[in-house]
Structure 1
Amino acid sequence: MVSEKKYTADYFSYKRLKTREVRVGSIILGATNPIVIQSMCNTNTLDTKATVKQCIRIIEAGGELIRLTVQGISEAENLKNIKSELITKGYNTPLAADIHFNPKVAEVAAQYVEKVRINPGNYAEKNAKEDYSEDEYQQALINTAEKLKPLITICKKHKTAIRIGVNHGSLSNRIMSKYGNTAEGMVESAMEFVKFFEDAEFYDLIISLKSSHVLTMVYANRLLAARMQENKHVYPIHLGVTEAGNGLEGRQKSIAGMATLLNDGIGDTIRVSLTEAPENEIPVALALRESFKIQLAHSGFESQKPWFNPFTFRKRVSSSIGIIGGNNSPLVISTAAQRNSCKVKKPMQEIDTPPPDILYLGSDKPIFLPSDKTYIQDFSAWENEHTNCYPLLSGKELLENSFADNQDVYVKLSLNDLSSIKYLSAIKNQSNAIIVLTAETENPITEWRKAFYYLQKEQMKNPVVLHRLFNLDQNEAFLLESTKVYSALLLDGFGDGIWLQDKGNIHIETLKQVSFGILQSCRLRLTQTDYIACPSCGRTLFNIEDRLEEIREKTKHLKHLKIAIMGCIVNGLGEMVDADYGYVGSGKAKVNLYKGKTLMHKNIPEKEASNALVSLIKSEGDWVDI
C-alpha cells in the first residue's frame, strides 16, 4: 500500500527537511544549519571535576552539544558550577539537562543550561492507569499541560530550548492504552507535548523518537516528519539509536538507523550511543555527517514519490529460486579468495560469523567443490559440471546464450541496463534469473531505489542481490559507507541478498563481519547474540562497559538470544524491548535479572550477577553448550 503522507522532500535525491531554526546557546539547530554532533556524560553530575574533565574530552573530540543526567535538585543546582568551570577553562559548548520524573528538577536545571530534555512517558504522569475512558484521557492531557506551565515560563525567561525526548521503551500507560508500544504511539506522545508548548506560545523545541530497534526508530521518525509537515510546524529532529551496544555492533546499529533517516533528509542533530567512553562516539558521528556533505554533491535524479508504504516493514514480494528470494532470509555472497594480500587490513575485531551463503569464484576453476556449499562463477569459466555452482552473467551474455528453464542463473545488471527493453525482456524470458543489481555511481542508494522502481513498474519478481564494488582502504570508512547504503534499501524491504565486494584492501573476514552485521542491525537475520546495551549515564551505578564484555564473553555463542544490559531502572525495563533476558542496574553495584519483562532475581551484587545470569538462562532451558 502506498502512503500519501509526505515525510521526505525527495525519495530519489538527498534534500534536508526544512525545519524551524532553534537556538541552543551558541549553536543553531535546524533549517540549513550544519547537523550538530552531541554526546552525553556518564559521570556523576554532583562530581564537578570529573564531569568537567569528561566534557572537555568530548569537546576536544569534536562534540558540539553535551547532555548531563540530572536526577534531583542537587544535581540540577550543580549544573551552575559545571557551566561556570567550563567557561573559566575557555569552553562555551552548550549543555543539556536530561530529566526524568520530577518536573521541579527541570525547572531548576533550565536556569543554568541551554537545553532541557524531558520524556513525555515519565515526566508528568503519576498514579497512571492501564485503561482510560475518553474523559479520563482528556483530563490527563489537561493535567499534564498544567504541570508544564512553570517550566515554560522559566524557559522563556532564560531562552532555554526544550527537547521532547520520547523513548520507545517508556511510553506512558495512557499512550499505551490507546496506541500500544508502537511507532505511532511514539509520534502521538511527542505531538501531544508539541501541542502543549504551542498552546503556550513556546516554539524553541527539538523532538526525538528513539528506540533500540532500528526499524521502529526509522519508521517513527518518518511518521514524525510527516505529522509535523501536516501540522505546518516542523521542529528540528534529534536522531539516535538507543542501547546500540559497543564495538562493531554498536556502530553498525547507529549507522543503519541514522544514515537511513539522514538520507531521507531527516535529522538536525545526532548522537551515536555507545557503551564506551563518550568521546568514542564523536568520530563516528563526524564521519557520518561528512558523508552526507559528499552525497549532496551527487544528487540529481528525477523526483519520485515512494511506491510502497515507508512507515511499516514489508519485504518486496519476490520469487523463491533455490536458497534466495521468497520467504528465505536475506543471504550473503562473498568472494572465495582474497588477492592483493599485502594491502589487506586486519579484521576489525574478533567475531565468530557464519560462512557466506554463496561464494564467488570469479574466473577460477577449482577441481573440487565441496557439496555443502553454494558457488557462483563467471560465465566465461562456468562449465556446468557442478550442481552447486551457478553462472554469473552480464546482460550481454544473457542475450547471447540460452539456458534450460530450470537452470538458475545470476545476472549482473546496473540501473542503466534495467532501463533497456532488451535486457528486461531477456530477464523476463529466463524464469530462474536472479538479478545481481550493481551500483556504479557515487549515489548507490538512489541508483538502487530507481532500479527497484523500474522492476515494480514491469511487475518483475526476480530475487535481487544488492552488489557494490568498494574502493576504500580503511576499515572504518568501509564500515560506514557499506552499512549506510545497504541499510537504506533493506529497511524499506528491498533486497534478497547482499554482496559487498572490494578491490583488495579490506580483509575477507571484515567483509563477512560487516555483511552479516548489516543484516543483524536491520533485524532481518540474526546470526550473533544480540546485545541491547545502554551507553550509561550518571544514573548507572556499576561498571557497565566491563560487565557488557564479561557477559558477552560468557554468552556470545547463544546466537538465538537477545540479551539486554541496562544501566538503571529509569529506562532499563522498557528499553529492553523484546530482549529474552535482562541485566538491569537496581542500585549501587546491584543488579536485577529478568526473563523477558518478568523480574526473576533482585538486587544481586554486581560481581555475582553475570554468573547468576548464566544460571538463569540455563534454568530456563535456553542455554546451549559450546
Structure 2
Amino acid sequence: MSYCASRVNTVRRPTLEVMVGSVGVGGNHPVRLQSMTTSDTQDIAATVRQSIALAEVGCEIVRITAPNVAAARCLQDIRAQLDAAGFRQIPLVADIHFLPSAAMEAVEHVEKIRVNPGNYADKKKFNVREYTDADYESELQRLHESFSPLVQRCKQLGRAMRIGTNHGSLSDRIMNRYGDTPLGMVESALEFLRIAESHSYRSLILSMKSSNPKVMIQAYRLLVARMAQEDMHYPLHLGVTEAGDGEDGRIKGAIGIGSLLIDGLGDTIRVSLTEDSVYEIPVARAIAAKTMSLWSRRPATPDTAVEDGVDPYRFVRRETQSLTLGASIAVGPEQPPRVIVRAGGTATLGEVLPRLLSPVLKDTPVEGVLVTVESAAALAGLPDPAPAAYVIDLGGLSAADVAPHAAALRRGTVLLKTFEAGDADALAAFATLARAHHCRLALELEPVAVTALESTLRALGDRDLLFTLQAVPAGATHSIGGYRQLAAALRQIDSKAPVWIRNTAATALQGDNSFLSKLLEASFLSGALLCDGIGDCLSIETEADPVRATKLAYNVLQGAGARISKTEFVACPSCGRTLFDLQTTTQRIRAQTGHLKGVKLAIMGCIVNGPGEMADADFGYVGGAPGKINLYVGKNCVQYNIPQAEADARLIALIKEHGKWVDPEPVVA
C-alpha cells in the first residue's frame, strides 16, 4: 500500500471538494484553520462572543459542542446571532459524541456535524468477547440503522459531516477485533464511511486523532492507503488531541500535523492547546503557511521512490551500529538520540561552554558541543568539554591542514566535514586521520554522493562514522525528504552508521526568525524523522542561544516519544463539556508534579474521548461531575467523585502509593 505520492517531495493528495457552508475544504482550496469554543453551549451570549473572537483572529471554521438536545437547540440562536453580527461566512460545526438525538437536532441549524464513531450508537462496556462473523455483521446492521437517519438528513439539507475517530474511544466491537491500534481507528471510520456511501452521501471529511503523534501519523497514513484501495478520496482534518499547552503542546501538534502536510496529506487543521482557543490560530496559520509553501516547489531532479526501509504504518527504529562520543556517550541501538548544541566559533567558547555544562541542565545534558574552528591551530586551545564531546566543524580544512595539530584532539571527538561525490581520496585521508587519533567522522554527504563513494565507504565500514545533511539535497524539496534519501542511500550500501539530524537555516521552510518559527521547523524535521525511526543525534542550530536550543531539542525528542526528560502531560483543550478550568488546573498540577521525570499524567476535562486516550498515562485527573474529580491509574478509575479542593493532594498521594513520587530538589537561591 502507498499512502502518498512522494516521500521526498510534497505532492498534495487529490481529494473531493467538500463545502462546509461557503468554505471549501479539499480539492484546490488552501488548508483551512479550525478551532473550538470552550463555553457552555447553552450560554448563548458567551458562545457567540467566543465564536466572533475566533473568527477575528482568522479561524475559518468554528466547532461547538452539542452534548445533549438542549445544547443542540441553542445552535439555532448562536447561528442567527453570528449572522446578525456579520459572520455569516463562518460555518459552525456541532460536535457530537453519544446522542444521535442531539445530532438530529443540531443538523437543522449548523453547516457541519462531527460524529465520533466510537461513541455514536455504541455504549462501551469494556467487555472482552469474541465476535463471530455473524455477531459482527449484526453489530454493523445495528450501526447502519442508527447512523442512516443522520446521513440522510445531512444529504437533504446539504450539510457536511466529519467522521472523527479518536484513539481513546474505540467501540468494544473494534477493540475486540482490532485492538487499540491505528488499524482499529481506521476500521472504525470505514464502517461509517461505507454506510454514508450506501446512501450516495459524500460530503465527508475524516480525522484520526490521538494524543500520541506516532499513533496519529500512522493512523492517517493507513486511512489514506485503505481509502485508496476502495476508491475513496475524502479530505482530511488533522490534529493531535490532548497535546497540552505551551511549548510542549505546540511541538506535539506540529510534529503530527506538519509531518502529514509535508507528505501531501491534510486539508483542514486544528492545533489543540490547553489555552484560550484564540492562541491556537496563529500556530495553525504558521504551520499551514510553511507547508503550503511546498506546493509550488518542484524538485531539481525527477522524483524517485525512496527505499529507506521505513514501515510507514508501524514504528521500528532504524538499525544502527554503536559508537561512542567523547569518553562514554554511547550512540546507537538501545540508546536515546543524543543532543548536540552549536556553540559557535572558538572565540565565544569560553563564554558558552560553562553555560552548556552547567548543572542546571542535568536533566537535559548537552552531549555534543558543535564548534567551528577558524584554523587547525585552534584545535590546541580548546578547553575540556567533559562530560560532553566536541563536534568540530572543520570547514575548508584538509586532512593535511589538520594532521600537524591532531595530537590535541581528545578521544571521541567528532570531526565534521563536507564531501562531494569525487572526494574519495579526501574522505579516505580524513578517515585515516580520525582513526589514528581515536576520533569519529561525521560525513556531510548528499545522498547521491553516498552512492558515488560506495566503494570507499564500504572499505571504511561503519565503526566510526555518522552521516548528516546541512541543507536540502538535490532531488528533494524539503529536508525530511533529504534525510529519507540519505537513509535510503545508506541502506543501498548496507551501512548502519548513525544519522545526525541537523536543523539549520538551510533546512528550513519559509517563515520569520521568531522562536515559534524555529520550534515548528524543528518539530517538522526532527519529529517526522524520529516518528519514522530515523535519527540517532539531534541538533537545533537555528536557535542562537545554546541553552534554549538544548531545551528545545529535548522538548522535541519528548514530543516525538524518542526521549523522556521530564514529566509528560496529556491535557485536553477546553470545550463546553469541560467540568473544571483546564488551564489553571494544568498549570497548578504541573507546578506540583513537573519534577517527576518519566511520569505521564493525563488531565482531562471529561471522559468523552474515553480512558483509552490515557492508555499509556500513569495517572489520570478527570472531570467526573461539576466540582468532582475522578482519579485513574492507567485506564482504571480508582477514586470517584473527589471534591476538587481535595483532588490535587489525593493525586499526589496516589502517585506516592504507586512508588512514582520523588521529592523535588530544594531551590538554590
TM-score when scaled to structure 1? 0.93
Shift of 1:91: 0.3
- In the other structure, the counterpart of 2:107 is 110
Q: Any stretches of 5+ residues in structure 2 without a counterpart?
A: 325-329, 353-359, 395-401, 507-511, 665-669
Counterpart of 2:291 in structure 1 is 292
Deviates more, 1:410-419 or 1:556-565: 410-419
The 3-state SS of whatever aligns with 2:293 is helix
Counterpart of 2:656?
618
Q: Per the alignment, in what secondary structure is the counterpart of residue 541 of structure 2?
A: strand
- Contact 1:434–1:465 (CA<8 Å) still a contact in 2? no
Residue 377 of structure 1 deviates from its aligned partner by 2.5
Matches within 5 A, 1:131-170: 131=129, 132-170=131-169
8 Å CA contact retained: 1:353, 1:516: no
Using the TM superposition, name which of 12-21 and 108-117 deviates more: 12-21
Q: CA deviation at 1:218?
A: 0.3
Matches of residues 55-204 of structure 1 in structure 2 within 5 Å?
55-92=51-88, 93-126=90-123, 129-131=127-129, 132-204=131-203
Deviation sequence 1:130-187 (CA, Å, 0-9, x none): 3222211110100110111221222122111111111000000000110000000000
The equivalent residue for 1:548 is: 586
Matches within 5 A, 1:172-571: 172-300=171-299, 301-307=301-307, 308=309, 309-322=311-324, 323-336=330-343, 354-363=364-373, 365=379, 366=381, 368-369=383-384, 371-379=386-394, 380=402, 382-395=406-419, 398-401=427-430, 402-403=432-433, 404=435, 407-415=438-446, 418-419=449-450, 421-422=452-453, 425-426=456-457, 428-429=459-460, 431-441=462-472, 443-470=478-505, 473-502=513-542, 506-571=544-609
Identify if the C-alpha distance between structure 1 residues 104 and 60 changes in structure 2 by more than 3 Å, giving closer, same or farther.
same
Q: Distance in 1 between matches of 2:479 and 2:655?
A: 43
Shift of 1:416: 5.9
CA distance in 1, matches of 2:363, 2:550: 7
Gap change, CA 1:382 and 1:160, over 3 Å in 2: farther
| Native 8 Å contact 1:98 1:117 kept in 2 | yes
Residues 400-421 of structure 1, C-alpha deviation per residue, up to 9 Å, x if partnerless?
Answer: 3314379341323131663462
On the 8 A contact 2:428/2:456 being kept in 1, the answer is no
Moved more, 248-257 or 431-440: 431-440
CA–CA distance in structure 1, aligned partners of residues 314 and 571 of structure 2: 25
Report the Cα offset of residue 368 of structure 1.
Answer: 4.0
C-alpha displacement of 1:353 = 5.2
Counterpart of 1:302, as a letter, is P
Cα displacement string for residues 402-441 of structure 1 (whole angstroms, at most 9, x for unaligned residues): 1437934132313166346247614741543332412323
Of 403-412 and 476-485, the range deviating more from structure 2 = 403-412
Does residue 15 (structure 1) correspond to residue 11 (structure 2)? The answer is yes
The alpha carbon displacement at 1:446 in A equals 1.8
- In the aligned structure 1, how far is the partner of 2:450 from the partner of 2:415? 23
Q: Residue in 2 aligned with 1:347?
A: none
Partner letter of residue 115 of structure 2? I
Aligned amino acid, residue 93 of structure 2: A
Q: Contact conserved, 2:411 with 2:439, CA < 8 A, in 1?
A: no
Q: Equivalent residues in 2 for 1:576-587 (5 A)?
A: 576-587=614-625
Give the stretch that moved more between structures: 490-499 or 234-243.
490-499
| Equivalent residue letter for 1:360 | L
* 2:136 maps to amino acid: Y
What is the alpha-carbon distance in structure 1 between the residues aligned to residue 450 and residue 463 of structure 2?
A: 20
1:153 and 1:54, CA in 2 relative to 1: closer, same or farther beyond 3 A?
same
Residues 14 and 296 of structure 1 are in contact (CA less than 8 Å); yes or no, is this contact kept in structure 2? yes
Q: Tell whether the 8 Å contact from 2:468 to 2:499 is kept in structure 1 after alignment.
A: yes
Relative distance call for 1:127 and 1:171 in structure 2 (3 A) is: closer
Hey, what's the Cα distance between the residues in 2 that align with 1:8 and 1:127? 34
Secondary structure at the aligned position of 2:63 is classed as strand
TM-score when normalising by structure 2: 0.87
Summarize deviations over 1:253-292 as a string: whole Å, max 9, x none: 0000111111111111100000000110000110111002
* Mapped contact 1:11–1:303 kept (Cα < 8 A): no
Offset from partner CA, 1:365-419 (integer Å, 9 cap, x none):
5554154332222454753443353433343553333143793413231316634
Alignment partners' CA distance in 1, 2:462 and 2:239: 43
Alignment-mate amino acid for residue 486 of structure 1: S
What letter matches 2:366 in structure 1?
A: P
Query: Paired residue for 1:573?
Result: 611
* Aligned-residue offset at 1:296: 2.5
Quote the RMSD (CA, aligned, Å). Answer: 2.3
Equivalent AA in structure 2 for residue 262 of structure 1: L
Alignment gaps of 5+ in structure 1 = 345-349
Distance 2:69 2:100 in 1: 10
In the alignment, the residues of structure 1 paired with residue 409 and residue 362 of structure 2 have an alpha-carbon distance, to the nearest angstrom, of 32
Say whether the 8 Å CA contact 1:321–1:408 is kept in structure 2: no
1:43-68 deviations in Å (ceiling 9; x for gaps): 00000110011111111111000111
* Gap change, CA 1:523 and 1:57, over 3 Å in 2: same
Structure 1 equivalent of residue 398 of structure 2: none
Which sits farther off after the overlay, 474-483 or 265-274? 474-483
Q: Judging changes above 3 Å, is the alpha-carbon distance between structure 1 residues 377 and 85 closer, same or farther for their aligned structure 2 residues?
A: same
Quote the Cα distance in structure 1 between the aligned partners of 2:165 and 2:40.
Answer: 23
Relative to structure 2, which stretch is displaced further, 176-185 or 9-18?
9-18
Say if 1:415 and 1:448, in contact at 8 Å, map to a contact too.
no
SS of equivalent residue, structure 1 residue 14: coil
Q: How many pairs are equivalent?
A: 614
CA distance in 1, matches of 2:457, 2:229: 45
Letter in 1 for 2:428: L
After superposition, the Cα gap between the structure-2 partners of 1:383 and 1:49, relative to the gap in structure 1 and judged at 3 Å, is farther
